Amino acid sequence: MASAPVTDLRAGDVSDVSGMSEAELVDAIRALEDAKARACAVQARLTRALDARVRARHADQGVPVARRGRDVPGLVAYARRESPARGTRLLGFAHALTELPHTEAALAAGVVSEWRAILIARETACLQPGHRARVDAELCAPDNQGTYPFEGWGDRRLIAQARALVAGLDPAAVVDRRAKAEADRHVSLRPAPDTMARLSVLLPVAQGVAVYATLTRAADSARAQGDPRSRGQVMTDTLVTLITGQVSAEAVPVTVNLTVSDHTLLAGGHQPAWLTGYGPLTADHARHLTATALAQAQTAQMAQMALRRLYVAPETGTLVAMETRARAFPKALGLFLELRDQTCRTPWCNAPVRHHDHITDHADGGPTSAINGQGLCEQCNHTKQAPGWRARPLAGPPDQHVVETTLPTGHTIRSAAPRAPTPSRVVPLMGGELYYTDLHIAIDYAA
């Protein structure tokens, strides 16, 4: 009954939706959800085939075994419009399905989503193939009536059932997995809404409970003594002061790179600023951050501010040059690339810049220059070094900086540097041509 409307919806024609009943709409949504799962199963098979082809080509080219196929995540990421890091996970998932035949069959039948299948693959990754197959059968093999065990389960129950089965089959594997997880402990930072940031810490459970208990006791004590801050505010501020060693959460010893137009900073403009490592900030927040640093520098002498001029092409908003008025300016070109590119230049990646890359390799005669440079994350830079990958700068100042990358398959992707904040002043630069001037403010909160 719903097959015709579904076909229309997949083609983008929604003219018949108004005539569909509620039941038909629900059936159409379910049918499309099933189609998505079936498509993911096909993508997994294609991903495995792609990996095999690339590795075979690398073997023919004499690439060392350890480096064969290392650019496959980048190819998968391009095909699925995802980041290379996500491409790595999707490649691992595709191979994991070969040891999870019932899960792959359920995905191909459209009865389990790709995300649920990824959860099963993740929770069974520590098992040997034989044990993994047993868990796979317990979770995803249908009974004689065609009913799947996971029908009606949420993510939490699916994870809990998988973990219980894993622990029952191979407790030693769980212990080894725990040791590996402890070795993978790390800290990450992500932007949050309303100019907030989310600091995440992955650490062993005992340490996590101890940290949380310490913050809880500090909050309870402060509230009992009449502290007007909320419990959550006290816990957050205590965390900052304990980690930074400062007397207050506002006086943190860190260098903050803020790029803002002079009109926003000095003349009440409304164009957003860019905070390196975070993203865009509202004009009011940028002015507040700068004023706070200036006040601290003048009163407690806790902060130092270094102003740099960033020259921007008036028509394209392209960052073209930089000069400094700071006492020291180390790694100027690398800083220029980070300020210009803001995040990794690979499409759909947006990871923090970790490497300053020669677009045309230095070994191939590529100069060390702003035009031939780009900011990349570590994985994207390594991917670009695989056989068959080529890149070249298509344009540079005063035009928008554009990089064209050609994949081993012949596909091309282009990456343009983001526009810098539009400033208000015009100054002569480079043989009399006129460029707008932005301000880059490095606020160093140092005791």
Give the residue from 229, 244, 259 where a domain finishes: 244
| Pairing of β 426-429 and β 412-416 | unpaired
- The tally of domains found in the chain comes to 2
Task: Report the predicted TM-score, pTM, of the whole model to 2 decimal places.
Answer: 0.69
Residues 206, 164 share a domain? no
Structure tokens at 177: 């997995």
Q: What single-letter DSSP state applies at residue 44?
A: H
What pLDDT is attached to residue 247?
62
Is residue 263 situated within a structural domain? no
Residues 193, 176 share a domain? no
Is residue 107 situated within a structural domain? yes
Query: Contacts by 118-121 with C-beta closer than 8 Å and gap 24+?
Result: 118/89, 118/93, 119/155, 119/158, 119/159, 119/162, 120/158, 120/162, 121/92, 121/93, 121/96, 121/97
By C-alpha distance, which of 136, 48, 126 is closest to 94? Answer: 48
Residue 293 β-bridge partners: none
Report how far Cα 389 is from the mean position of its chain's Cα atoms: 22
What pLDDT is attached to residue 326?
39
Residues 194, 71 share a domain? no
By C-alpha distance, which of 59, 102, 97, 54 is closest to 79? Answer: 54
Are the beta carbons of 38 and 108 closer than 8 angstroms? Answer: yes
Residue 358 β-bridge partners: 373
Print the domain residue range for 226. Answer: 187-244
Cα distances from 391 to residues 360, 361, 376, in angstroms, run: 6, 9, 13
Cα distances from 265 to residues 170, 297, 322, 340, 390, in angstroms, run: 61, 18, 18, 19, 41
> 123-181: per-residue pLDDT in tens?
999 999 999 999 999 999 999 988 999 988 999 999 999 999 998 988 888 888 877 77
Backbone Cα Rg of the chain: 27
Nearest-angstrom CA–CA distance, 329 and 314: 26
Residues 155, 208 share a domain? no
Is residue 444 situated within a structural domain? no
Is residue 265 situated within a structural domain? no
Is residue 302 situated within a structural domain? no
Residues 214, 162 share a domain? no
Are the beta carbons of 404 and 414 closer than 8 angstroms? Answer: yes
Is residue 350 situated within a structural domain? no
Residues 196, 129 share a domain? no
Q: What DSSP string describes 123-179?
A: HTTTS-HHHHHHHHHHHH---TTS--TTTT--HHHHHHHHHHHHHHH-HHHHHHHHH
Residues 175, 47 share a domain? yes
Q: What DSSP string describes 45-111?
A: HHHHHHHHHHHHHHHHTT--GGGTTTTHHHHHHHHHT--HHHHHHHHHHHHHGGG-HHHHHHHHTTS
Q: What single-letter DSSP state applies at residue 19?
A: G
What pLDDT is attached to residue 1?
42
Residues 60, 197 share a domain? no
Is residue 33 situated within a structural domain? yes
Residues 174, 28 share a domain? yes
Burial of 269: CB neighbours in 10 Å, binned 0-12, 13-18, 19+: buried
Is residue 140 situated within a structural domain? yes
* Sign of the C-alpha dihedral computed for residues 225, 227, 231 and 235 taken in this order: negative
Nearest-angstrom CA–CA distance, 344 and 356: 10
Give 445's contacts (C-beta < 8 A, 6+ positions apart): 251, 252, 253, 254, 255, 256, 293, 296, 302, 303
Residues 53, 36 share a domain? yes
Q: What DSSP string describes 319-347?
A: EEEEEE-SS--TTHHHHHHHHHH-S--ST
The angle subtended at Cα 15 by Cα 10 and Cα 20, nearest 5°, is 85
By C-alpha distance, which of 318, 327, 349 is closest to 418? Answer: 318
Tell me which residues of the chain have a pLDDT lower than 70: 1-16, 195, 246-256, 262-263, 266-267, 277-278, 293-331, 396-398, 421-447
Residues 222, 76 share a domain? no
Q: What single-letter DSSP state applies at residue 248?
A: S
Nearest-angstrom CA–CA distance, 49 and 85: 20
Residues 128, 12 share a domain? yes
Give 244's contacts (C-beta < 8 A, 6+ positions apart): 251, 252, 253, 254
Give the residue from 151, 183, 215 where a domain finishes: 183
What pLDDT is attached to residue 328?
31
What pLDDT is attached to residue 132?
95
Give the residue from 131, 165, 183 where a domain finishes: 183
Q: For residue 349, which amino acid is it? A: C
Structure tokens at 422: 């539009």
